[in-house]
A and B are shown apart, each in its own frame.
Chain A
Amino acid sequence: GENVEQHPSTLSVQEGDSAVIKCTYSDSASNYFPWYKQELGKGPQLIIDIRSNVGEKKDQRIAVTLNKTAKHFSLHITETQPEDSAVYFCAASRRYSSASKIIFGSGTRLSIRP
């Protein structure tokens, strides 16, 4: 069945440094890759997404890259700040398909050290 693997499970970086989270997916028909941020006691919130016809997308300090051949995608956060501390989830789905369920990775707990 479909599977999304996410690494690392925990990540601690110094404030101001960059953080990178990596994911791989198994379903070659996946064409939509969102990233969610979950703060304590809250539901996940979309922070950025990328579609299969795009290799890279940036939004201020956040960027995502996608390698469809290798079925890898990554989240990059630059100039990290204390408010970036949270759990991050990658996900994959087949958008615009009847098989539209979103499969999530196991999450990365990111801690920003002051």
Chain B
Amino acid sequence: GAGVSQSPSNKVTEKGKDVELRCDPISGHTALYWYRQSLGQGLEFLIYFQGNSAPDKSGLPSDRFSAERTGGSVSTLTIQRTQQEDSAVYLCASSLEPTNTEAFFGQGTRLTVV
């Protein structure tokens, strides 16, 4: 497929466990974004990658959250010691920088912490 792919689509985890969420951006897209969307809420910015570096990680809510990107492609968002308030849909987007401007979103990973 040519779109942004996220896995898993759904994840249920117990409080205190660690989780990893994966994002496969569109091939050739150098910019990658992670957002969090709580039920019925807007899109909360988490982190932005340009290539493998993260110029802006100001949205990560706590040190339990981290993200990395390798090879300028796949990114993983890791949440350690999950809490119930981490339950949300985590959305990934990619865009072709600097010549293009549209950000394409994946369908998201719905995380439920029980």
Q: A46 on the interface (CB 8 Å rule)?
A: yes
Q: Does A73 contact B (CB under 8 A)?
A: no
- Distance, CA A100 to CA B51, complexed state (A): 13
A-B pairs with beta carbons under 8 A, tally: 60
Question: Number of contact residues on B: which range applies?
Answer: 20 to 34
Does B102 belong to the interface (CB within 8 Å)? Answer: yes
- Contact flags A36-51 to B (C-beta < 8 A → 1, else 0): 1000011111100100
Is the pair A105, B48 in contact by a Cβ cutoff of 8 Å? no
Q: Are A41 and B42 in contact (CB under 8 A)?
A: no
In the complex, the chain B residue whose C-beta lies closest to that of A106 is B42
What's the least CB distance linking A7 to chain B, in Å? 12
Chain A residues within 8 Å of B105, by CB: 36, 43-45
CB-defined interface of B78-89 with A at 8 Å, one 1/0 digit per residue? Answer: 000000000000
Residues in B whose Cβ lies below 8 Å from that of A107: 41-43
Which one, A43, A99, A102, A103, contacts B106 given CB within 8 A? A43
